[in-house]
Amino acid sequence: MQFGLFEERPQYYTSLDELVSHMMQMTDDPLYPAGTRMVIYRGNPDARLMIIGEAPGTEENRLGKPFVGRSGQLLDQILQAVDLDSEKDVFITNAVFRMPPGTDGRPIRKPTSEEIAWYKPFLLEIIRLIDPAIMILMGNVATESLLERVGITKLRGQWFQWNGRWAMPMFHPAYLLRNPSRKQGSPKWLTWQDIQEVRRKYDELVANK
């Protein structure tokens, strides 16, 4: 399936450093009033495999890097299981770059569709500058941002063509932490199938070139 051709818009940034510098100084984004940090990326900017998550959590907000809490530790383990190094082989970012505030007594909430849409041009610019061959969309927020669809249970494990790149939705590691069963058909079991397929595609497009 083909989704998400780049919108017609100027390309303002000549490098990732220039983009990051601009984003770190932003004060007009919708989550700036929440007082949380701008969290943009970790990993290798030269990597051909990109992972897009949802939004920073409390540990990511504290350290200023995505996927460094419990979810990030599990993500690293998932990648290591197929011999991918999260610092060398992968570029990791999010669809929303600040931690949303809590609601109803919870420490944080999921980003709204309006927030996802507001930050999307910056995600698109990151993708243009990094130029990955493969993208893993971790969870519904990343899937909504790029594919404009939700329903991770039905979408996960499928390849989508997005602006000439391969994109696969997968369960977010936080969801796997809440569903620890490893039995056949469980989220963790399905994620193992998905990451093996990602590795196969990576070998086809990147590692064996």
CATH number at 199 reads 3.40.470.10
Looking at residue 108, its pLDDT comes to: 75
The residues that bridge with 53 in the sheet, in sequence order, are 94
Helix (H, G, I), strand (E, B) or coil at 60: helix
d(CA 33, CA 49): 33
Looking at residue 106, its pLDDT comes to: 56
**Mean pLDDT, rounded, for 60-69:** 94
Pure H helices in the chain: 16-24, 58-63, 70-80, 113-130, 140-147, 152-155, 173-178, 187-202
Nearest to 100 by CA among 146, 148, 35, 52: 35
Tokens, residue 136: 């893993």
Residue numbers of the domain that contains 21: 2-207
* Residue 194 in this model has a pLDDT that exceeds 60: yes
Tell me the pLDDT tens digit for each residue of 85-144: 999 999 999 999 999 987 554 557 889 999 999 999 999 999 999 999 999 999 999 999
Share of the chain above pLDDT 90, in %: 84
Model pTM?
Answer: 0.92
Looking at residue 3, its pLDDT comes to: 38
Number of domains present in the structure of the chain: 1
For 108, other C-beta atoms within 10 Å of its C-beta total 17
Identify the band that residue 75 occupies on the pLDDT scale cut at 50, 70 and 90: very high
Contact 55, 111 (CB under 8 A): yes
* Residue 204 in this model has a pLDDT that exceeds 50: yes
Looking at residue 191, its pLDDT comes to: 97
